Amino acid sequence: AGGRVALTCSVDGSDDWKYYGFRRDSHSVADPVRDVRAHGVMVVSEGGFYRCRGGRGDPELFSQNSEEVLIQKTVPSWVILQPNWSVIYSGEKITVRCKIQGGGDTGWTYEWRTTSSNNPPSHSEYTISRVTESHSGDYSCKGRRDYYLTEWSQVKRLTVPPDKPKATLRADRTTIPAGGSVALTCSVDGSDDWKYYGFRRDSHSAADPVRDVRAHGVMVVTEGGFYRCRGGRGDPQFFTQNSEGVLIQKTGDVDRGLHVSWVKSVSVNPPVITVSVLSLLRVYETR
């Protein structure tokens, strides 16, 4: 790649020849090579089929054409994973592509090499609709077309963990002050391009979605309750496991957040009425 090849044209045992070089590819007639140096040397940087002939005298007498010499040109190739996430989870969709510099799909023959337990087809790309752990491994490719060829590309590693990821939900504090709010942050460790979804329930309802989930998975909430989240990405969308729940309490929310039980005891002699609080129970509970 980026280099040149020297071709030398000669007519044995003869003098005073001028030399003429010609190049063709598989789809064109031969074109003259303009830069033929002294002693019939051609320095070329393009692949193709080359031949030459000599000429001398006036009128010029030409030798027969030489046999053709095939010059192959090496170009770089590399493997692309789309989407190019650091980790792909079991069940997600991914496309594996062999990219060749200056090349396209037409007319190229591809070969793949992988350490995974799956055998890729001999195409420029292929899509895995639902990856599994068996697709984990290193992938490399090479291609050939006419006089163009590549060496084996550098390996690209596909990592598919055995377990489905789990979202994590963190709160900057667990009690909402009167008139205030609490920020909750949802994340998926070591992964990319997630959209985040938050859910809230209280002791009497099923989980409802939190509509205002900001960038980077941040939810700013003003209501007490039991919160959790999950991440989703891709098309079709792949979801993580739900996070563990986080209980957010609201200061002064007695009617909705607390239940009080009372027991009255009455003594006739002496006539004193005693009222004692037996229990103060929070009705928010975890699943």
Instruction: Tell me whether the omega of the peptide bond preceding residue 59 falls within 30 degrees of 0, making it cis.
Output: yes
| pLDDT tens for each residue of 138-197 | 999 999 988 889 999 999 999 999 899 999 999 999 999 988 999 999 999 877 889 999
State how far the alpha carbon of 15 is from the alpha carbons of 11, 19, 57, 66, in Å. Answer: 8, 12, 11, 17
Distance CA 39, CA 17 (A): 9
- Which stretch, 1-15, 26-40, 139-153, has highest mean pLDDT? 139-153
pTM: 0.69
- What single-letter amino acid sits at 266? V
* Residue 6 in this model has a pLDDT that exceeds 50: yes
Over residues 246-269, the mean pLDDT reads 54
The CATH code for residues 168-257 is 2.60.40.10
State how far the alpha carbon of 168 is from the alpha carbons of 79, 133, 163, 214, in Å. Answer: 32, 23, 15, 16
Among the ranges given (81-90, 137-146, 251-260), the one the predictor scored with the smallest mean pLDDT: 251-260
Give the model's pLDDT for residue 279. 38
Handedness of CA 208, 212, 215, 217 (dihedral sign): negative
State how far the alpha carbon of 18 is from the alpha carbons of 33, 51, 170, in Å. Answer: 13, 14, 82
Instruction: Tell me whether the omega of the peptide bond preceding residue 270 falls within 30 degrees of 0, making it cis.
Output: yes
Chain centroid to CA 266: how far?
A: 74
Q: CATH classification of 74-158 is 2.60.40.3080, yes or no?
A: no
DSSP assignment, residue 255? H
**CB count in 10 Å sphere of residue 63:** 17
* Residue 65 in this model has a pLDDT that exceeds 90: yes
Distance CA 196, CA 143 (A): 41
The more confidently predicted of residues 82 and 213 is 82
Residues 6+ positions from 48 with CB-CB distance below 8 Å: 23, 24, 25, 70, 71, 147
Helices and strands in the chain: count of H runs, count of E runs: 1, 26
Give the model's pLDDT for residue 36. 80
Over residues 44-71, the mean pLDDT reads 93
**What is the biggest distance separating any 2 CA atoms in the chain, rounded to whole angstroms?**
148
Q: Where are the domains of the chain?
A: 5-71, 74-158, 168-257
The more confidently predicted of residues 146 and 271 is 146
Q: What is the mean pLDDT of the chain?
A: 84
Among the ranges given (26-30, 159-163, 271-275), the one the predictor scored with the smallest mean pLDDT: 271-275
What is the percentage of the chain residues whose pLDDT exceeds 70? 85
